[in-house]
Structure 1
Amino acid sequence: MQFHHTLGGQVWRFDDLKTLMARATPLRSGDVLAGVAARTAAERMAARMALAELPLATFLNEALIPYEEDEVTRLIIDTHDRAAFAPVAHLTVGDFRDWLLSDAADEAALAALRPGLTPEMVAAVSKLMRNQDLIAVARKCRVVTRFRNTLGLPGCMAMRLQPNHPTDDARGIALSTLDGLMYGCGDAVIGINPAGDGLGPLTGLMHLLDELIQRFEIPTQSCILTHVTNTIQAIERGAPVDLVFQSIAGTEGTNRSFGVNLALLAEAREAALSLKRGTLGDNVMYFETGQGSALSAGAHHGLDQQTCEVRAYAVARAFSPLICNTVVGFIGPEYLFDGKQILRAGLEDHFCGKLMGLPIGCDVCYTNHAEADSDDMDNLMTLLAVAGVTFLIGVPGADDVMLNYQSTSFHDALYLRQVLGLQRAPEFEAWLQRMGLTDAAGRLLPAGAGHPLLSHLA
């Protein structure tokens, strides 16, 4: 199906739906690298206007990646709920944008709509939205999940405590973990990116975090961010696994490059559920995504990187995760060139994830060779917090010494809580008060040398 729009006396033609989607996407270096980006601002605007006139239902009749070729496409189509889609089935993409911004699209209406939305619909409408639109709609979406605490409640923002170490040194990891806890971080998860992938050291890290959580009765969960097959083996050996982690993407080929498929993810979820370690809920999965991964794997099928990213959210949604986050600037400037592109991508990812019903957070980050700096990250994390982001990342000093990139810090969380009045997960907030780490208002209190947490290092 060909699409066209007349703009400025010129007729712009787009050969198929994926071309229209790509040309309508805000400029980013990854789409230029892939050869799918609009060549001029005029072409981009013409594509957006043509996309705005497109009926939403078109995405149910024209798959961007053929059903027969891709299991993610099959997942999207086979799980689509036409009854949930019915209230917006008559709308164009532009009309859908207007409806999302209206008072009619309240928390209840958006929650009821989720099963009826495909990622392609969500990606399409995001391409028509200003940054403030992405923030306004995402803030109306409520996604609540539970394992040992409750994430996603109104007025709350959680933090992943990320105590990575370049050699997986237990004492170094413990020191960073206690540092984060004493700054009030760690309610989303205490999650380690291990430097190695040997099963023995990995299970050692699992026991390290479990001992800390159990000793101090911390209402949080741990996760070692290793490949899903390692976690399954660890579960089989009796290791104390809380959450199963995996990086995922929006095409079968990209997931294959990660060494996973939908069946393997289902097996891992069932293994984690069998342990019954959650005290409040059974959301046991943790996923990470990022724009550009499909192009890196040569498995993007000619799609723009943001549409591929939103398809990954359909994969995540199918497994009811506790948390999911986009690692927005991690892959590098080849995909998101500068601070402006990183900021736009972060807001898009958050909006799209929330609209699809994901408990989505963001690793607000950049690599040292990108045209970005900490001021850009300050802007993005503030806007995400205003938009109601589920969680952000806390790294000592905002500098990950193992992964060698710049993220956000424990101090950044304090800033956001102070200026926006954001609370932690309620169970975690109560624990901090019991431990004498915060007062009744959630403000940090000084911890003396004899504090029980500090004795854990002895």
Structure 2
Amino acid sequence: MKLTAQVQGQSYGFRDLKEVFAKANEERSGDRLAGIGAESAQERIAAKRVLAETTLEQIRNNPLIPPEDDEVSRIIDEGVNERIYREVRGWTVAELREYILSDGASGTDLLRLSRGLTSEMIAAAAKLMSNLDLIYAAKKIEVITRCNGSIGHRGTLSSRLQPNHPTDSADGVVASIREGLSYGVGDAVIGINPVDDSVESVKRLMHASHDCIRAWGIPTQNCVLAHVTTQMKAVEQGAPVDLIFQSIAGTEEANRSFGISAALLDEAHELIRREGASPGPNLMYFETGQGTELSADAHHGVDQVTLEARKYGFARRWNPFILNTVVGFIGPEYLYDAKQVIRAGLEDHFMGKMHGIPMGVDVCYTNHTRADQNDIEGLGVLLAAAGVNFVIAVPMGDDCMLNYQSLSYHDIPALRQTFGLRPAPEFEAWLEQRGILRHGALTERAGDPTLFVFD
């Protein structure tokens, strides 16, 4: 395997494939913090050249984290369709990129191909793509999933209604739900981040959100984003919930720091399949974000783009209803400014879709990141153009509990109407029945939370 390249008359050599992967990334503050990023633009170009000439077989035969040492690696490798892999193992990463972007490769073709690829191969292709490449390729791929309603249909844009409250007040949560629904938000999920991870508090929020869904006949799903073990106890005690949630990472060690393993997620999946409130068949909700493993000191010298791709390979095991990256939430230590946040959002979306994942993005940033609301709205526009399954919305774009900025309830209909997109089919029909939507546009009744009252 060739590990050298020349740029402007200077020769660059790399120790191994792990270093090539890291230095082929676009500029990333997290890679610099880890001491693995390229030292110059020239070194980055050299790494990209080496990566472009590397075959898919060489990537599989030289694992960045060996399967014998890591559960995530084993799950990704064991999930490879060997017949499809044999068809393409001689391709270089450059040839894989060209195929993905070619007019002859449909979304169906790419989903078939992805079954023969490891997550590292998909990450490698993303490293050779421009932002427009990432948008164009992701747009091809349609991933439809079903829980109570269905999302991911071509021509739609769904949203998570995030009605967080700083004291977990059920009344406050319901007030935010009512406002979000009045703007046509919430077809992906009504998902609440709890302050209190106790079983009793989580049960109370599960009941509050489920009562709204039942009282108003909403074709959507509820979820309380506590630790998976807390949710499992709540379900076992009879709490009504449609989706089980968990944040996941790209290494076994980082997942261990979250208090999870594949065996625990298997147990959770079986429980929600048996005791959950929805028919499914897609019953899991995962959340990710570049930098997770570095923040847990569990990255094993692997770059954050590749580790993000590995999360999607891990998630495939449970056929989730939704997965979203919280792209700018972890902070500037990992994504320094708006340029890096935007690039990461497009990378994550493409890599998720290439894994066959129903991909969403929390288009967000923290106040100490060099970004503002205009940057975030711009990323929302790019993701809508790329065919993102869903985005997250909070009241006025400011989460009063998690203390970060995201898209607002108002932004969702603005994105839909700008691109001629619709809500999920069942949810759209429900909005029309309520008089909130007509022919894909909000009516004069939109924005009025008094439309939703309990009998």
Give the TM-score range, shorter chain: over 0.9
Q: Distance in 2 between matches of 1:216 and 1:414?
A: 21
Distance change (3 Å), C-alpha of 1:276 and 1:295: closer
2:275 aligns with 275
Contact 2:422–2:440 (8 Å) recurs in 1: no
Structure-to-structure mapping, 1:342-357, within 5 angstroms = 342-357=341-356
Q: Distance in 1 between matches of 2:7 and 2:204?
A: 62
Contact 1:2–1:16 (8 Å) recurs in 2: no
1:110 aligns with 110
The question of 1:436 aligning with 2:400 is answered: no
The question of 1:329 aligning with 2:328 is answered: yes
Q: Letter of the aligned partner of 2:401 in structure 1?
A: M
Q: Letter of the aligned partner of 2:390 in structure 1?
A: F
2:60 aligns with 60
Q: Distance in 1 between matches of 2:402 and 2:195?
A: 9
Say which SS state the counterpart of residue 57 (structure 1) adopts.
Answer: helix
Contact 1:399–1:407 (8 Å) recurs in 2: yes
2:12 aligns with 12
1:122 aligns with 122
1:298 aligns with 297
**Alignment deviations for residues 266-319 of structure 1 (CA, whole Å, 9 cap, x no partner):** 10010000025324x310000000000100111100001111111011111111
TM norm structure 2: 0.98
2:389 aligns with 390
1:373 aligns with 372
1:226 aligns with 226
Contact 2:183–2:447 (8 Å) recurs in 1: no
Contact 2:437–2:446 (8 Å) recurs in 1: no
Structure 1 portions without partners, runs of 5+: none
Shift of 1:2: 6.3
User: What fraction of aligned residue pairs are identical, expressed as a percent?
Assistant: 52
2:212 aligns with 212
Shift of 1:83: 1.3
Contact 2:183–2:442 (8 Å) recurs in 1: no
1:167 aligns with 167
Say which SS state the counterpart of residue 238 (structure 2) adopts.
Answer: coil
Contact 1:185–1:394 (8 Å) recurs in 2: yes
Shift of 1:337: 0.2
Instruction: List structure 1 segments (4+ residues) > 3 angstroms apart after TM superposition.
Output: 447-452
Shift of 1:111: 1.8
Shift of 1:139: 0.3
Shift of 1:450: 9.9
Q: Letter of the aligned partner of 1:69 in structure 2?
A: D
Q: Distance in 2 between matches of 1:92 and 1:86?
A: 13
Contact 1:439–1:445 (8 Å) recurs in 2: no
1:22 aligns with 22
2:71 aligns with 71
1:136 aligns with 136
Contact 1:286–1:322 (8 Å) recurs in 2: yes
Q: Distance in 1 between matches of 2:429 and 2:84?
A: 38
Contact 1:82–1:116 (8 Å) recurs in 2: yes
2:425 aligns with 426
**Alignment deviations for residues 51-95 of structure 1 (CA, whole Å, 9 cap, x no partner):** 100111112211111222100011111111121224432210011
Say which SS state the counterpart of residue 272 (structure 1) adopts.
Answer: helix
1:412 aligns with 411
Shift of 1:443: 2.3
Say which SS state the counterpart of residue 370 (structure 1) adopts.
Answer: coil
Shift of 1:351: 0.4
Structure 2 portions without partners, runs of 5+: none
1:244 aligns with 244
**Alignment deviations for residues 132-179 of structure 1 (CA, whole Å, 9 cap, x no partner):** 000000000111100111110000010000000000111111110000
**Alignment deviations for residues 179-209 of structure 1 (CA, whole Å, 9 cap, x no partner):** 0000000000000000111111110110111
Shift of 1:410: 0.9
Contact 2:2–2:50 (8 Å) recurs in 1: no
TM norm structure 1: 0.97
Say which SS state the counterpart of residue 421 (structure 2) adopts.
Answer: coil
Say which SS state the counterpart of residue 64 (structure 2) adopts.
Answer: coil
Say which SS state the counterpart of residue 220 (structure 2) adopts.
Answer: coil
1:284 aligns with 283
Q: Distance in 2 between matches of 1:90 and 1:51?
A: 14
Contact 1:429–1:442 (8 Å) recurs in 2: no
1:150 aligns with 150
Does 29-38 or 429-438 show the bigger shift? 429-438
